[in-house]
A and B are shown apart, each in its own frame.
Chain A
Amino acid sequence: DGGITQSPKYLFRKEGQNVTLSCEQNLNHDAMYWYRQDPGQGLRLIYYSQIVNDFQKGDIAEGYSVSREKKESFPLTVTSAQKNPTAFYLCASSRTAPNYGYTFGSGTRLTVV
């Protein structure tokens, strides 16, 4: 079955450490997205990519980085510059035309220890 796989499901980060969250899709979708979810704040867009080797900043990109070397993969790195990284991170993908809405992964919960 086609879908989006996020790994790991739980991730613990020490202060000053970079960590990378994986997102892989086999839906043949061109566009991929990373959202951060905090209680009471809904989903906020971190980065998105509509084509391989190209991506754009979302609303809260500071302290994060991404790459899009393959259509299927869109990893997110949470750098030490992100001062409050504890959150639930969701990856999504979509077609580019027309917009059918997103398919979401099951998320990664990142905790700073």
Chain B
Amino acid sequence: AQSVTQPDIHITVSEGASLELRCNYSYGATPYLFWYVQSPGQGLQLLLKYFSGDTLVQGIKGFEAEFKRSQSSFNLRKPSVHWSDAAEYFCAVAPNTGTASKLTFGTGTRLQVTL
């Protein structure tokens, strides 16, 4: 079974600073990988996803993530954080079966942005 680890529970960055949120997965093959963002009291919004091909994927709101097979990682990055990026971020993995399947989520990283 697949699993996801987000080692950082809480991260604080200054507005304008760069950001990297870590995500490590466990799966026997190359999985489908996702990053979601959640504002307080809201549902989750998809930021970006990786299925195959180029290992650097671009998402919405200026986010990008890089798939590194050798490290089983899919870290989320943003060059310059805005105060509105404060939220909780979830990494998720699904088997690469070509059909709908269950997503397994990490426990999330809460991002705080200081002005």
A interface residues, Cβ below 8 angstroms from B: 4, 6, 30-31, 33, 35, 40-43, 45, 48, 50, 58, 88, 90, 92, 94-107, 109
B interface residues, Cβ below 8 angstroms from A: 9, 32, 34, 36, 41-46, 49, 51, 90, 92, 94, 97-103, 105-108
Q: Which of A42, A48, A90 contacts B102 (CB 8 A)?
A: A48
- DSSP majority for the B interface? loop
User: Distance (Å) between the CB of B92 and the closest chain A CB?
Assistant: 8
Is there an interface contact between B100 and A107, defined as CB atoms closer than 8 Å? no
User: Distance (Å) between the CB of B9 and the closest chain A CB?
Assistant: 7
Q: Which of the listed residues B51, B92, B105 has the most CB atoms from chain A within 10 Å of its own CB?
A: B105
Inter-chain CA distance A35–B104, complex, in Å, is 11
Inter-chain CA distance A31–B102, complex, in Å, is 10
Is there an interface contact between A98 and B105, defined as CB atoms closer than 8 Å? no
Is there an interface contact between B51 and A98, defined as CB atoms closer than 8 Å? yes
Chain A contacts for B42, CB-based, 8 A? 106-107
